[in-house]
Structure 1
Amino acid sequence: MRWRPDRSGFHRPVPGHSTPCPRSLPSPPDRRPPSPPGRHRDFRPLPRPLLPLQNKDVRLMSPTDRTRPRFPLAVYLFGALAELLFGYDTGVIGVAMLSIKRELGIGPGLQGFIVSSLLLGAAVGVGVAGWLSDRFGRRWIIFATGVVFAAGGLGVGFASDVWALIVIRFVMGLGVGASAAVVSVYLVEVAPTRHRGAIGGLGQLMVVLGILLSYGVGYALQPYDAWRWMLGLSAVPALVLSAGIVFLPETPRWLILHGRTDEARASLIRLGRGAGADTELAELDRALRMADRKPGLGFTLRTMAAPGSRRALFGAVGLALLVQFVGVNSILYFAPTTLVHAGFGDNAAVAANLGIGTANVVFTLVGLSIVDRVGRKALLMTGCAVMATAMAVLGAFTALTSHSAATAWFTLICMIVFLASFAATWGVCVRVVISELFPAEIRGSATGLVLVLNWLANFAVSQSFPTLLESSAALSFFLFAAVCVIAAVFIRNVLPETGRGHVLDASPAVHQDDDPQRSGTSTAKSVRPGVDG
């Protein structure tokens, strides 16, 4: 082995040569620590050399990194659990109403009020929760949402009369509204840019899973008229949500906005993005400091109404109203009543509801798989076309035929087509788009204010639908078809594009005409590499 001196003057072996080292050459000093008593030092192995760190942050090797979950998807799924309760509480009332109206002897007006009382509470909850989430954090408001759901679920099981039921449903609506305002914001802010649409749409997946779960519970309990159990079982997942949300990370954006940079870094590590945490934090901080953040409702309203933000505001408000006027929630809430009106029996209508709920879940999964591959606007307009066709065909068939088995089955098919197209397009997009349209410093408050209008529209449509269905089912379906056409025109000409790789908080991209088919410009200029929301 051949030897050569190193920088310290000691000779080191050269690989590939076997000439022994001459005894006259000095040997490197033995820097090993002294051996324990009773052991010969020659039997202890030399310590492994420390390799130099190359382009790595030593903080990523801290014990915090070992607490990172292997599957951040578990964080996203649990963060969206409040939406399961949202879906369950809004879906179960349609099945329970078949038993409630028999036991309590109520007409169409009170039926609509029992359903819409939850929506009225949601209109209050969604406005308050958005402001509270900006002040106290997204995570703790989701915790409070679980507590409200649990209290309402336990209380509704002991409702003594119709008015007690209405009051308790109003309280549960506070949780529904808070879920609608905060969960989508939480998911959008913890998601990486390349998967933001799919992860933000997980909330809608949990909604439709909750609806399907409510249909299954209703199918099992409806023969016993156990409507109190149907409504009260929502307390179980609510308690699970309240206990588990404590262990989830707060969103990095909210932490950066409140000057808690170290916690934001730890949050990114827990979300599986520790390798680029410092780069991402720097980009987030630079993006969020571009606006002069000031708390308060007045600042939120001024920011929403600023000249550069008006297109985003019009797009968010229009989308929040149109998603209710297309009739999807009226179809969902009153699906058993609609099917009974079309010719099904009570048990057959509840069983058919399971088919509607299954289609809703399947096509929500389809929507999640494509939402980040195509633009949000293209997806929404495709949904408008299919929904308008389904409602127009159903209206014409209902107007030209009498009640029969064929009418009942055709109504069910058209409802499934309508809800499947909604689930794959509008269902996975609407609340994600509304959250994406506003800058981070007002995102929670602005989303909450816009969704107040959404729930008020939901209240108005749900309150009037039972009476309209009794008077003319065909007219109600034609009205929904017309609104779908209006929605397509609105999306084409007013709504900004927020998909196709747009980075969250890159506000100029949504305040300008960024549809390359219309303006001839590329959206790539609005994407800043290195920012994973």
Structure 2
Amino acid sequence: MSRPTMLQHLTLLWDCPLVIVVIFISGIGGTFQYGFGISSMTSPSAYIKELVNQTCIQRYDVYLRDWQVSLIWSFTVSIFCIGGLLGSLLAAPCLSTIGRRKCLLFNNLVAMVGAVLMLLSQRAMSFEMIMAGRFLYGVNAGISLCAHSLYTVECTPKILQGVVGVTIATFISMGKFVGQLLGLSELLGTEDRWPWLLGFSGFAALFQLVSLSFLPESPKFLLLNQGDQRACEKALTRLWGNKDHSVEVEEMLEEKVTLQNTRSRSVMELFRERSIRWQLITIIVTFLSLQLSGLNAVYFYSQEVFRAAGIHEDQLRYATLGTGMCETLSSLVCFVIIERAGKKVLVFAGFMAMTVALVLLTITLYLQHYIPWTSYCSMALIFIFLFSYSIGPAGVLAPLPGVIFTQAFKASAFTVGFAINWIGMFIVGMLFPILVENLDSFSFVIFLLVCLTTGLYVYFNVPEMKNKSALEIAVDFDRMHSKSGRWKGKKKDELPPNVCTTSQTKF
């Protein structure tokens, strides 16, 4: 039987209009918030620093030095990561108890409170309100990364889950781009309008709070977690159309029988379960590399490169906006080719291409002080790096825990993956300025080593996941890493109960 083409995938998706609605609504209040939170602080940075100074003068009659203002500013930016880490740790119990949809709904209230603090901060002359708002935005983003990923994939037909999973990263890129766009001085990046820029996340949360209320809960959660088969069938009918879904329900029931004595596992139980050790290591390595791959360094150097290439100072913001557009469009390319190329191939090729781009970028950045035209090469390499990042690792890795883990471990796996992502972001945020000060453009050497190591890890330690169930992926992991190769040549019904319990699920 031939594999469906991209056109057939799009046709199947078009036949499920409510799934398209789920993708959009869950994305706007989901990973979009994460991307927007990353980019929205760049434009108003000077105004926020001025607010810090004015607050201390008015309140304490104290004039801060530059390093003191920079310290407060760094903490204001970094507290987003602390909130995100907390949100990621809260996600697993919330997703397992109240469900995917309700978790997203209640999470919007957190973002809306943060938005109110942002909007009132300038009038109240309180930079502390911005800190509190950033922390709440982080909590919201930490929960939404997990909840959006899980809810979207579980509401999608099995044949479309690989394609739809890419949209998780697409909304992150869209969030970054919208943050850059609204930060332009022609829009909200002005001295009197910047609080509206920071408060924009509240409007996105309000939109999801109202619209998501009319969408169904994840069918898998209804059947496997709540045991409500009637509600599951009703949700499937609404999501996938008024057709026969008996095959999908039967697969879920088989999984339910297999997992009937298996409750949702905690993060600690995930770490203690030896049969999925390599899946867990894969999540840790790949998610950490998303932050340590040098993406922030590339964005940091982009303005310097564009300036050296002769772009006028007033036009730099538009050139930077182009990097956000590149990342967004690249994720759409991943959407088109993922089923044809395969997840492992895209991740490996992406990290290898990023490694080569960083090697060449290090060389051209060093040479541009001596050979002016190399700045144009640096500019091209920045876009090549962003393209490689978005088309490979960023597009594939976000939904990965839902692909290689079963229902019992999914929520905890997403929590671990995104918690590591937040820790990596915090590390980069704190150490990157020190690296730049001491190593300058040679700081890319550290990041290219991360990309190279991760690419080689994926090539030698991760099986291909295209068109495979989690059970088949688990067996492939075992074949690659078991000295005895005890499952080699074994069929699904010949596997022992503990392997089925850990790994059996359909995608």
1:433-472 to structure 2, matched below 5 A, reads 433-472=400-439
CA contact (8 A) 2:282 2:462 kept: yes
Q: Residue 158 of structure 1: CA displacement?
A: 2.4
Whether 1:97 and 2:64 are equivalent positions in the alignment is no
The alignment partner of 2:22 has SS state of: helix
Name the CA shift for 1:150/1:505 in 2 (closer, same or farther; >3 Å): farther
1:4-153 to structure 2, matched below 5 A, reads 70-81=17-28, 82-101=30-49, 104=52, 107=67, 109-153=71-115
Q: Residue 259 of structure 1: CA displacement?
A: 0.5
Further displaced range: 96-105 or 310-319: 96-105
Q: CA RMSD of the aligned region, Å?
A: 3.2
Q: Which has the larger radius of gyration?
A: 1
Match of 2:252 in 1: 284
Q: Residue 324 of structure 1: CA displacement?
A: 1.2
Q: Distance in 1 between matches of 2:101 and 2:413?
A: 18
Name the CA shift for 1:209/1:334 in 2 (closer, same or farther; >3 Å): farther
Q: Distance in 1 between matches of 2:437 and 2:273?
A: 45
Q: Residue 383 of structure 1: CA displacement?
A: 0.6
Q: Distance in 1 between matches of 2:129 and 2:265?
A: 35
Q: Distance in 1 between matches of 2:25 and 2:489?
A: 33
Further displaced range: 201-210 or 150-159: 150-159
Q: Residue 167 of structure 1: CA displacement?
A: 2.6
CA contact (8 A) 2:117 2:132 kept: no
Q: Residue 344 of structure 1: CA displacement?
A: 6.5
Match of 2:446 in 1: 479
Match of 1:154 in 2: 116
Match of 1:260 in 2: 228
Match of 1:164 in 2: 129
Q: Which sections of structure 2, spanning at least 5 residues, go unmatched?
A: 1-14, 54-65, 494-504
Match of 1:183 in 2: 148
Match of 2:178 in 1: 213
- Counterpart selection for 2:273 from 303, 306, 319: 306
Amino acid at match of 2:361: L
Amino acid at match of 2:216: P
Q: Distance in 1 between matches of 2:71 and 2:157?
A: 46
Match of 2:6 in 1: none
CA contact (8 A) 2:78 2:429 kept: yes
Q: Residue 414 of structure 1: CA displacement?
A: 2.4
CA contact (8 A) 1:198 1:372 kept: yes
CA contact (8 A) 2:350 2:388 kept: yes
Q: Distance in 2 between matches of 1:175 and 1:523?
A: 45
Q: Distance in 2 between matches of 1:511 and 1:78?
A: 35
CA contact (8 A) 2:169 2:331 kept: yes
Q: Distance in 2 between matches of 1:229 and 1:344?
A: 29
The alignment partner of 2:44 has SS state of: helix
Amino acid at match of 1:281: V
Identity %: 21
Name the CA shift for 1:532/1:453 in 2 (closer, same or farther; >3 Å): closer
The alignment partner of 1:472 has SS state of: helix
TM-score (norm 2): 0.81
Amino acid at match of 1:294: R
Q: Residue 381 of structure 1: CA displacement?
A: 0.9
Q: Distance in 2 between matches of 1:248 and 1:403?
A: 59
Match of 1:36 in 2: none
Q: Residue 296 of structure 1: CA displacement?
A: 5.7
CA contact (8 A) 1:150 1:238 kept: yes
CA contact (8 A) 1:157 1:228 kept: yes
Q: For residues 294-352 of structure 1, give each alpha carbon's deviation from its aligned partner in whole angstroms, at most 9, with x where no partner exists.
A: 2563xx53344323211111111111111111022454588658867998676433211
Amino acid at match of 2:387: A
User: How many residue pairs align between the two structures?
Assistant: 457
Q: Which sections of structure 1, spanning at least 5 residues, go unmatched?
A: 1-67
Match of 2:10 in 1: none
Q: Residue 524 of structure 1: CA displacement?
A: 13
Q: For residues 430-476 of structure 1, give each alpha carbon's deviation from its aligned partner in whole angstroms, at most 9, with x where no partner exists.
A: 11112212211221122113321221111111222233234433122
Match of 1:500 in 2: 466
Whether 1:203 and 2:168 are equivalent positions in the alignment is yes
Q: Distance in 1 between matches of 2:167 and 2:354?
A: 22
Whether 1:353 and 2:315 are equivalent positions in the alignment is no
Whether 1:294 and 2:263 are equivalent positions in the alignment is yes
Match of 1:426 in 2: 393
Q: Distance in 2 between matches of 1:295 and 1:248?
A: 24
CA contact (8 A) 2:270 2:413 kept: no
Amino acid at match of 2:432: F
Name the CA shift for 1:477/1:70 in 2 (closer, same or farther; >3 Å): closer
TM-score (norm 1): 0.78
Return the structure number with greater helix share: 2
Whether 1:324 and 2:272 are equivalent positions in the alignment is no
Q: Residue 262 of structure 1: CA displacement?
A: 0.6
Q: Residue 399 of structure 1: CA displacement?
A: 2.3
Further displaced range: 355-364 or 101-110: 101-110
CA contact (8 A) 2:156 2:164 kept: yes
Name the CA shift for 1:112/1:413 in 2 (closer, same or farther; >3 Å): farther
Q: Distance in 1 between matches of 2:436 and 2:100?
A: 39
1:231-250 to structure 2, matched below 5 A, reads 231-250=198-217
Name the CA shift for 1:233/1:293 in 2 (closer, same or farther; >3 Å): same
Amino acid at match of 1:378: V
Further displaced range: 234-243 or 343-352: 343-352
Name the CA shift for 1:334/1:474 in 2 (closer, same or farther; >3 Å): closer
